[in-house]
Structure 1
Amino acid sequence: MPSSQHFLSADCLDAAVTAAHAAAAILQTHAMRRADLVVDHKMRNDLVSQADREAEQAIIEILRERTPDIGILAEESGGQRGARATWCIDPLDGTTNFISGIPHYAVSIALIGHEGCRASGGEPLPQDTPLIGVVYDPNREELFSSLYGLGAWLNGRRIQCSATTTLDRAVLATGFPFRDFSFESRYMPTLSDAIHTTRGIRRLGSAALDLAWTACGRYDGYWEMGLAPWDVAAGTALVRAAGGVCEDIRHQEPWPEGGYVYAANQHIATALDDMINRHP
């Protein structure tokens, strides 16, 4: 078992960054030969390609070699939760964009410290907490990274959430229902409210980048429903480390593990939460 410091160290962050770059190299190689991609349908509007699988395997191999005592949960191959901490991996967030040739997708890797884990040698964590976030956009060559309690960075330069103070001045990101439509009746009124009360809404198709862009202030806030843990884990770490709020819409989980997520700067987070929960 690694020391308590091991769960929040430069070594862990470096392992995640190395793995993200390795996965991105595979994705970009496949992107140049999109016509040859083998694409499978997991369910309606839920696609997986050989690029996803090969990129994920590259990530797993690096993380297992560099951090053998940490569990791994990955989108395509599953995995096993660790006793004290777990890597949460999405090798290709924005698969539909990737397959369609839309250059907006990313590799997403997070380290989740579990309740009781001494993340930095201090007090045990009171609840499961994203400790490290890495989101790499290979098309823009933008690497977003964060360490719990220390901050967030874009290509090595410190980032923070925007300073916008009101929703009427905010640009928000979202994701439409595309696979699970069970929450559509709740989502659509919120979208209507947002269209009429904010400066604008964007929907670009990658939750990891939506959260990373919220962390660096390009978006003032973001919300989406019906996602998976690996879609939002790294982004949650980034937003929180950049001084923002990233929580479960339903206020039931310590981080948005269930895929119902809202994120924003400190000024508008409560107003965004209120707007979403106006429609039960």
Structure 2
Amino acid sequence: MLTTHLLSADYLDAAVTAAHAAAAILQTHALHRSDLVIDTKQRNDLVSQADREAEQAIIAVLRERTSEAGIIAEESGGQPGEHATWCIDPLDGTTNFLSGIPHYAVSIALIGHAGCCPDGRHPLAQDTPLIGVIYDPNRQELFSALHGIGAWLNGRRIQCSSTRTLDQAVLATGFPFRDFSFESQYMPGFIDAMHQTRGVRRLGAASLDLAWTACGRYDGYWEMGLAPWDVAAGCAIVRAAGGVCEDIHQQDPWPKGGYVMASNTHLALALDTLISKHL
């Protein structure tokens, strides 16, 4: 039986503590990247001991402080919980990290499952990202969010941009890098975006693309072929910042299938149209 409200400060603080613990491990390893043991899971999909140690640090904190929730983590798997499940990416932007590019993050989200009452009163109609924490250790920027309450950057409330048209928008994206089966769907939309917007950026960390959309640095973002842990926390933060974050195919209640589109509310329809007409 669930005894703690999922939207409590205790759950959010546990995620923040876990993110800082993981980041400390990552930054220690970053000083000695050449000594890391690196494995290849599949083409362009790398994992190092830094990922694994950071993940274990996160799991240790969450199991100790939120034992009622399940855990699904990128490297070690896990089991979903009855009411809620933590979704963990200990190092989003592994290729950047291993190349010495200082753009990567720890990403932790709590997914509430349909039927649970995260506030103790109102049941969820569908699975929903309730808590999002994304920590960028290089900029020391902590993005956090509570579903229905708000989103913050280092404790200050954030919201999505107010840009109203694509021709004034700066977008972020991610190119196919591991699974190229959707390349023919992705590339026409990318070309359209190049011609119809103020610019398109690709920095290689989906969680930060979503966090930057939430705080208005980007006006929108889309990507295909990701994993749930890449987008779960960012989805919670974008939505809590007043934005839209949806499954491109409009099949899942949140983009757990890794086909994600996010933006402010003004641009959502235009961005969705730009992407979906090529699917």
Partners of 2:123 and 2:213 in 1: CA distance:
28
Partners of 1:244 and 1:277 in 2: CA distance:
19
Match of 1:2 in 2: 2
Match of 1:273 in 2: 272
Question: Is residue 105–residue 134 contact of structure 2 (8 Å, CA) maintained in 1?
Answer: yes
Match of 2:106 in 1: 107
Partners of 1:262 and 1:198 in 2: CA distance:
16
Match of 1:208 in 2: 207
| Residues 231-270 of structure 1: pairs in structure 2 closer than 5 A | 231-270=230-269
Q: What's the TM-score once normalised by structure 1's chain length?
A: 0.99
Deviations 1:176-235 (A, max 9, x none): 000000100000000000000000000000000000000000000000000000000000
Alpha-carbon distance, 1:119 to partner = 1.0
Alpha-carbon distance, 1:31 to partner = 0.1
Partners of 2:239 and 2:151 in 1: CA distance:
9
Deviations 1:206-265 (A, max 9, x none): 000000000000000000000000000000000000000000000000000000000000
Deviations 1:126-157 (A, max 9, x none): 00000000000000000000001100000000
Partners of 2:205 and 2:121 in 1: CA distance:
34
Match of 1:185 in 2: 184
Superposition CA RMSD, Å: 0.6
User: Per the alignment, in what secondary structure is the counterpart of residue 232 of structure 1?
Assistant: helix
Unaligned runs of 5+ in 2: none
Q: Which residue identity is paired with 2:246? A: E
Q: Which residue identity is paired with 1:32? A: L
Alpha-carbon distance, 1:2 to partner = 2.5
Alpha-carbon distance, 1:121 to partner = 1.8
Between the two proteins, the alignment pairs up a number of residues equal to 279
Identical columns (%) = 78
Partners of 1:70 and 1:6 in 2: CA distance:
11
Match of 2:80 in 1: 81
Match of 1:69 in 2: 68
Alpha-carbon distance, 1:6 to partner = 2.1
Deviations 1:147-173 (A, max 9, x none): 011000000000000000000100000
Match of 2:56 in 1: 57
Q: Which residue identity is paired with 2:32? A: R
Question: Is residue 116–residue 124 contact of structure 2 (8 Å, CA) maintained in 1?
Answer: yes
Match of 2:227 in 1: 228
Alpha-carbon distance, 1:7 to partner = 1.2
Partners of 1:246 and 1:148 in 2: CA distance:
13
Runs of 4 or more, structure 1, over 4 Å off, are none
Partners of 2:159 and 2:183 in 1: CA distance:
32
Match of 2:134 in 1: 135
User: Per the alignment, in what secondary structure is the counterpart of residue 25 of structure 1?
Assistant: helix
User: Per the alignment, in what secondary structure is the counterpart of residue 6 of structure 1?
Assistant: coil
Partners of 2:46 and 2:15 in 1: CA distance:
25
Structure 1 position 116 matched with structure 2 position 115: yes
